[in-house]
Chain A
Amino acid sequence: MTERLANRIKSEREKAALTQAALAELVGVSRKTINTVENGVFTPSATLAIKLAQALNVPVEQLFWIER
């Protein structure tokens, strides 16, 4: 069985009226990294996941979940 880390960064980011670049600036990574995390291409580290959750003001478990 394959597991995948899904996320709702895009919708939360849009709700917060942030662009990818603005969110990248807030968490201290490049826009490319935000883009790949949003699209599920790249699985972020726990540190980045927590930083993203804090920047978007959402609990980390609501932002990321495991999809089976």
Chain B
Amino acid sequence: MTAVDIAERKARFRVFGLLFLAALTCAVMVLVRTGGGTDFTQGLWLGLLLGCALNLIPIKRWLRLNSDVMRLLDDEGARANRQLSCTIGFWAAVVVALGFQLLSHFNSAIGGEEVGQFVATAGIVSAMVAFALLELRAAR
């Protein structure tokens, strides 16, 4: 099996990993906001979000500079997809933040913690989903 084949397999695994993490983060977010907001679930949400953010940067490539497979997993096509998905995540976060700003005119009870959680989740999750979909499209 060549490095290209291994990279292809790992890239497919990464796509499904990203989609799974995005779904899990959303599920924990719902749990946190619907009354299950214990210290454990809050910590789990934060941990998941940080894990997701780490998945959006090529950390493995930085740690294993001489690996052929890691170089293929972060080639210029993947970098372009990563860049575009982070831009999508940024705009999703901006849209959600503006939505809350508008909503706060009608409901002054919206707290800073709530807004922060929604904005961070929207930004990271949409970037992850966008990256996964762009990588899936590239692999077809």
Chain A residues within an 8 Å CB radius of B138: 32-33, 35-36, 41-42
Chain A residue total in the interface (Cβ 8 A) = 17
Chief secondary structure at chain B's binding surface: helix
Q: In the complex, what's the smallest C-beta–C-beta distance from A9 to chain B, in angstroms?
A: 14
Specify which of B2, B3, B78 is in contact with A32 (CB 8 Å cutoff): B78
**Cα–Cα, bound, A33→B3 (Å):** 14
Can you list 17 A-B pairs, Cβ within 8 angstroms, ordered by A? A25-B3, A30-B7, A30-B8, A30-B11, A30-B72, A31-B7, A31-B139, A32-B8, A32-B77, A33-B75, A33-B76, A35-B139, A36-B137, A41-B137, A42-B80, A42-B138, A48-B76
Chief secondary structure at chain A's binding surface: helix
**How many A-B contacts are there with CB distance less than 8 Å?**
56
- Chain B, interface size: which category? 20 to 34
B113 within 8 A of A: no
**Is the CB–CB distance between A30 and B2 below 8 Å?**
no
**Is the CB–CB distance between B78 and A33 below 8 Å?**
yes
**Given the known A-B contacts A30-B11, A41-B137, are A25 and B77 also in contact in the complex, defined by CB atoms under 8 Å?**
no
**Given the known A-B contacts A30-B77, A42-B77, A45-B76, are A25 and B4 also in contact in the complex, defined by CB atoms under 8 Å?**
yes
**Given the known A-B contacts A32-B138, A35-B139, are A44 and B76 also in contact in the complex, defined by CB atoms under 8 Å?**
yes
**Is the CB–CB distance between B71 and A35 below 8 Å?**
no
A21 within 8 A of B: yes
